[in-house]
Amino acid sequence: MTDRDCTHRQTVGPRSRARSARPGSFKFRGAVYALSTLSGAERAAGVIAGSSGNHAQALALAAQLHKAKATV
């Protein structure tokens, strides 16, 4: 692989992240942002996470901070 190959790959297509990277803070920030974009009525209706992994835990905490219901 040459430097040119690396440069081309960096400018084309989606980026990937090593599995060893710490994803928790990104999921929490995303969940907080997502809840902050909801209207009061939407927050009152609650949010649902389709898994019980890191995203669901982040969503549950974000919902608690926004005083919204969360179903995991």
Write out the catalytic residue numbers.
27, 52
How many other CB atoms are there within 10 angstroms of residue 60's CB atom? 18
Are 30 and 57 in contact by the 8 Å Cβ rule? The answer is no
Q: How far is it between the farthest Cα atoms of the chain?
A: 54
